[in-house]
A and B are shown apart, each in its own frame.
Chain A
């Protein structure tokens, strides 16, 4: 048997439960393929849906279309050179990927992060959270038929990307977070621009709410659709806004604060029943809370260094290279071999826009990580789609997929 037809044969193992529908000769179950290239799947996600008329009886997600072996690639890189690789997993929350990875390596090194670096990290993390939620809100509204929301959300997203460009030189995959802190202090004028954005954002979020929450179509598409209770969600290991929408106030920023989150005053928005409307409201409310955190971090930004002062791990300042032999040696050692991390393992969880993003790093004493694993929330949360959409209309499947907010770069890694 040839390879290609062999593949088709093996693909037959993707079967749907085809128990007899018991509906007589006039009714039958229809298996419908959605994706992998479909605008409503928010990436390269393929769904095999079993339909009875317009009602979804079962779906099977098929993933792996954008699997690029990032975890394997990270094992071939020195610790600090793996940061740009892991950033590209979940392409909407690159600061979070970098934070989880850097946090894990810093824990293994026992490195103390200066307060200013922690605050700068918080500012960028929360800007990133708003940015990610804006992409979610715009594309979700698009799925519900509201075209204009997309442009409004992307207008604010552009403002955030401009801020990222200002602080790091890149709009996406910025490599701003380093092991030990951040690569550079924020430039002059950055704080004022962030402040302007922070002052404006709540009004913008109000306007989104005005557009969507009084919209009869949006309300009837979201309310009481695809509800899933918290026990099921916990059994499926779902975290993030999906779990909070079902009424569980679980947020790692509050539960187990990292990077100085305990210094800030913010609330965790929770839903009540866990339908699509709650999922929408929780994320929308997080826009305000993130804005509050940025405001507090910006105005309470401590003075001091932006990166740790451990020359065995952190690159020496550029100006020292011309005058200090020792700095030159450190620079040379770091850029060529990298630094070594003492043997050990670490699991470092943070709260990403989609839930618990945990980075597992195993160090074997060499200059390269022996294992990097990302527990990506999109990957785990995607499993909840099937129980959510069971016995609801296929139109609700599209809305639910939008509210689950999977990022396929993070699912496939």
Chain B
């Protein structure tokens, strides 16, 4: 991890290129995080990639319900030479959950972005094949959102099978 000063220097570098791109930084219990504006995510990540953070270790969604903007897309970047990690987070609202895809930089972001779309409903613009990946294709709702109920699936028995999904099979 870069330390507090290193993280701030990194953020300054990003701000120098585009002042509106970086919203803030957090250094907490060994985790260095840069909060960015969702609009310029690809440019910022590309800059960090050139800076050495060239490996996308993980991409996942978070729901910050009830805080707004609710959804977070977290990129865990890794510098394999310096063995250094930095997290980049972009927050989007549930009304307009759009962010640009990073599959152009890393083709391997394909599955994680699809998972994030599947679970949180974040739409990745520019993704070549944005479909549900883990849930069935005709599933409605985004199950990992915090306001999605647990146990909301109807259990089919003989007495209610005609009321629900699959009744015409």
Contact = CB atoms under 8 A, between A and B. Distances in A.
A346 B26 CA distance: 12
B137 A13 contact: yes
Interface in A51-87: 63-64, 67, 69, 71-73, 75-76
Please tell me the size bucket of the interface on A: 35 or more
B74 interface: yes
Interface stretch (A2-10, A196-204, A290-298, A323-331): A2-10
A360 B116 CA distance: 14
B87 A64 contact: no
Given A10-B138, A256-B83, A362-B62, A4 B109 contact: no
B137 A10 contact: yes
B141 to A, nearest CB: 12
A162 interface: no
Contacts of A76: 150
Contact of B57 (A72, A358, A384): A358
Interface residues of B, number: 47
B87 A3 contact: no
Nearest to A250: B80
Interface string B87-119: 100000000000000000011111110010001
A250 B115 CA distance: 26
Interface stretch (B5-13, B16-24, B161-169): B161-169
B60 interface: yes
Interface in B39-65: 54-58, 60-63
Contacts of B159: none
B131 interface: yes
Contacts of B57: 237, 239, 347, 349, 356, 358, 375
A303 interface: no
B54 A72 contact: no
B4 interface: no
A345 interface: yes
B136 A7 contact: yes
Contacts of A110: 29
Contact of B107 (A3, A6, A67, A383): A383
A235 B106 contact: yes
A107 B54 CA distance: 25
A255 B136 CA distance: 39
Nearest to B105: A235
Contacts of A75: 146
- A-B CB proximity, top 6 nearest: A237-B108, A236-B108, A375-B58, A64-B134, A67-B134, A373-B60
5 contacts: A4-B166, A67-B134, A72-B148, A347-B87, A358-B58
Interface of B: 28-31, 33, 54-58, 60-63, 74, 76, 80, 83, 85, 87, 106-112, 115, 119, 131-138, 143-144, 146, 148, 150, 165-169
